Amino acid sequence: MKKVARRSNVRLIAVALGLAVTVPVLALAGAAAPATAAPAATAAPATKAAPATKATPASSGTTLRVESQTSFSTFNPFTAYFDGDLEVIAEIYPTLTVLNSHNLPGPYLASKWSVSADKRTWTLTMRPGLKWTDGKPITAADAAWTLNLIMHNSAAGTANGALVAGFATVSAPSATTLVITTKQPEANMLYLLYQLPIVPEHVWASQVSHLASDKNQTTPVVGYGPWTLTGYAPDQYATLTANRNFFMGAPKFHRVIVQYYSNSDAAVAALRSGQLDVIEYNLDANQFKALKGEKNIALYPQVSGTWVAIELNPGAQTRSGRHFGNGSPALADPRVRQAIAYALNRPELVSKVMDGLAVPGQGYLPPAFPQFLWTPPASQQFTYDPAKANQMVTAAGYKMGSGGIRVDPKTHKPLTLRLGIHSDEASDAAMAPYIVEWLKAIGIQVTVQSMSFNQLNTELPKGDWDMLSDTWSTGPDPTYLLSIQTCGDLPLNSGNAGNTDAFFCNKTFDKLYAQQSTEFSTALRVQTLDQMQQILHQNAVDVVLYYPDWLSAVRTNVVKDYFYGQPNAKGFYPTPNRFVNWLDATPVATASASSSSPALWIVIAIVAVVVLAGGALLIRRRSTAGERE
């Protein structure tokens, strides 16, 4: 599954939080004052309108076309956790804080905050004067209602329930004051808040009874952000229109078309032909190298915030411990799972599948955020060792049978495992034959099942699988990525996967998960995270194969200022932040002058003035500070 975990950074903020004083935080670049020059927003109805036409909107110089990371499943912020859905939700629903280009939290709905001496009471001041796209005011009551719903409604907590597990109460004593009390000190509170979309209570209150099934895909969607969702065609695209009243300044593009391609090679072909403008950290190694030297295309490699793994089903279970699904009983034995981990040649995958544009993996947290990168002791690393893997499977009771395939001692049938891969990922197809060969070498027969993104993720909650190709991304704060391995993320019933990754549940891991969020010392927290990663490593439910470089491409004749910063000595650009990218992206004059109206250029000029006026703030932040997917 290609999923996503939110991004944040704990190292620098921990120092600031230790001050325990009122913290008025500077806004993002361009956000020092509301954009007064933009025209008033057109009010959208609170009721849901007719579905958008399925015809793809025509391109123009003020339209930015971006490849969706995945197909679309839902725009319901309470239940979504796939990349394609989240990249839209992050632009159309606000959060209390937001990450800047340095992955540090700044104000969004909350303009400032303070924390009590015992670090258990957070008081946030809401930014006054903001309105939902239907014209109704955004108040602290909306934030309190949203957070309480996530805390107390199981459906509302599907995607983000683990993030509020430490909250005790949330209240809104006034329209501009929000108070959050926690059970224990929350060292990463500001990062939790940027991962929790706030919705308008007056729209969503009527949806609570059927929240789990509400896809929220009828446009226009009532929200607030730099963009408004104004069009949607299932499995094709989502259309976002710029909010000219956005307080940080209006986006410079009029529209963003988030386009889904069922095949990554088709996306590259669209980029080459000019039908697509941006592919963001979704190229594979062959595609990236093939695009080198292409006219009007710039390439941007970044250090990986993603791991690619083989997910092993240890036995699907609910929170109450009821087992379901038809996963192979062999994988319930950690010796078999560890044997599989030893049987896989990670360096060869990096060399032959990723053409060297990846790093062999072991630990659960990827290298983009090195303070949390954990490497097992040499004696515990799953280095390629087929002899040891064979010994472990034999010790587990699976004797070699005819044809070099082991036999299940209980069923007396050949030991056969299913491997689900993504049909829309070229790297999955390239990787599968190696895995089949390596596991056959230790007596395990593998049947490859190629499935679409949606089909593969439909199988997950059923528990009807043995092994799946799995991908997750994270950011500077790993809380969300760790939460998907907790017992609390197991499904309530066999038809609802919750947000669990592989039905993993370990009480010691859960205790450490609760502990790490209370540790204001980065050094102490790193020690706790290392212990958590060791537990995951030993249980071998997610067998991490490699961390693929984030490889992106942009059409330079259409857009500039999409990515920011300069490459380091190894050629890697700073970790991207899509919220900032889409807000800062600027149409190239030569590509848009013929199709842009004078009125639009006036608006762009005004925004440019606002950005220039905030230049000192922008430079100061980027020179003193140490992301969201």
One domain for residues 275 and 319: no
DSSP 403: G
- CB-CB contact of 96 with 125 (8 Å): no
- Which pLDDT tens digit goes with each residue over 28-66? 333 333 232 222 333 333 333 323 333 344 434 599 999
Q: Is residue 89 part of a domain?
A: yes
> Is the link from the previous residue into 220 a cis peptide, with omega within 30 of 0?
yes
**Three-class HEC string of 387-401:** HHHHHHHHHCCCEEC
- At residue 112, the pLDDT reads 97
Q: Tokens 């939080």 correspond to what residue? A: 17
One domain for residues 32 and 123: yes
DSSP 58: P
Q: Give me the number of domains the chain comprises.
A: 2
**What's the rounded Cα separation, in Å, for the pair 449 and 471?**
17
- At residue 622, the pLDDT reads 26
- CB-CB contact of 144 with 137 (8 Å): no
- CB-CB contact of 443 with 437 (8 Å): no
pLDDT range class, residue 591, cuts 50, 70, 90: very low
**What's the rounded Cα separation, in Å, for the pair 577 and 571?**
18
**Three-class HEC string of 541-609:** CEEEEEEECEEEEEECCCEECCCCCCCCCCCCECCCCHHHHHHHCEECHHHHHHHCCHHHHHHHHHHHH
One domain for residues 55 and 169: yes
One domain for residues 272 and 251: yes
Judged by DSSP in three states, 327 sits in: coil
Q: Is residue 1 part of a domain?
A: no
Neighbours of 68 (CB within 10 A): 24
One domain for residues 519 and 590: no
More confident residue, 478 or 614: 478
pLDDT exceeding 70 applies to what percent of the chain? 83
- CB-CB contact of 103 with 9 (8 Å): yes
Q: Is residue 560 part of a domain?
A: no
Q: Is residue 561 part of a domain?
A: no
* Cα angle, residue 108 at apex, residues 105 and 110 outer, rounded to 5°: 95
Is the confidence at residue 366, as pLDDT, over 70? Answer: yes
Q: Pick the closest to residue 304 from 370, 349, 377 (CA basis).
A: 370
DSSP 12-50: HHHHHHTT-S-BPPPPPTT-SS---SSPPPPPPPSS--P
- At residue 459, the pLDDT reads 79
In this structure, what token pair is assigned to residue 464? Answer: 């009807």
- The most distant pair of C-alpha atoms in the chain lies apart, rounded to whole Å, by 77
- At residue 83, the pLDDT reads 86
Last residue of a domain, one of 493, 518, 548: 548
Helix or strand holding residue 422 (H, E): strand 416-422
One domain for residues 317 and 294: no
- At residue 289, the pLDDT reads 95
One domain for residues 220 and 282: yes
Task: Give the ranges where 275-363 is alpha helix by DSSP (H).
Answer: 285-290, 334-343, 346-352
**What's the rounded Cα separation, in Å, for the pair 263 and 58?**
22
Where are the extended beta strands (E) located within 281-345?
297-302, 306-312
One domain for residues 313 and 282: no
Supply the mean pLDDT for the chain: 84
Q: Tokens 């007719």 correspond to what residue? A: 50
- At residue 457, the pLDDT reads 77
Q: Pick the closest to residue 122 from 150, 147, 89 (CA basis).
A: 147
Residue 482 maps to which CATH number?
A: 3.10.105.10
Range of the domain at 159: 11-301+567-624
**What's the rounded Cα separation, in Å, for the pair 227 and 239?**
9
Residue 43 maps to which CATH number?
A: 3.40.190.10
Q: What is the pTM of this model?
A: 0.78
**What's the rounded Cα separation, in Å, for the pair 115 and 23?**
8
Is the confidence at residue 452, as pLDDT, over 90? Answer: no
One domain for residues 195 and 225: yes
Mean of the pLDDT values across residues 517-539?
Answer: 95
- At residue 263, the pLDDT reads 85
How far apart, in Å, are the Cα atoms of 28 and each of 116, 194, 332, 620? 25, 14, 48, 11
- At residue 101, the pLDDT reads 83
In this structure, what token pair is assigned to residue 63? Answer: 């339209």
In this structure, what token pair is assigned to residue 572? Answer: 């890697």
One domain for residues 258 and 358: no
Q: Tokens 């709905």 correspond to what residue? A: 109
- At residue 103, the pLDDT reads 83
**What's the rounded Cα separation, in Å, for the pair 355 and 221?**
42
**What's the rounded Cα separation, in Å, for the pair 481 and 364?**
9
Residue 213 contacts by C-beta under 8 Å, 6 or more apart in sequence?
Answer: none
When mean pLDDT is compared across 142-151, 220-229, 476-485, the lowest value belongs to 476-485
Q: Is residue 555 part of a domain?
A: no
- Which pLDDT tens digit goes with each residue over 88-111? 999 999 999 999 888 889 999 999
**What's the rounded Cα separation, in Å, for the pair 512 and 516?**
6
- At residue 454, the pLDDT reads 77
Where are the extended beta strands (E) located within 83-213?
97-99, 105-107, 110-115, 121-126, 167-174, 177-182
One domain for residues 416 and 446: yes
Residue 444 dihedral angles phi and psi, to the nearest 5°: -115, 120
Q: Is residue 451 part of a domain?
A: yes
- At residue 424, the pLDDT reads 81
Is the confidence at residue 472, as pLDDT, over 80? Answer: yes
One domain for residues 56 and 133: yes
Is the confidence at residue 122, as pLDDT, over 90? Answer: yes
When mean pLDDT is compared across 200-209, 326-335, 581-590, the lowest value belongs to 581-590
Q: Is residue 406 part of a domain?
A: yes
Q: Is residue 553 part of a domain?
A: no
- At residue 114, the pLDDT reads 97
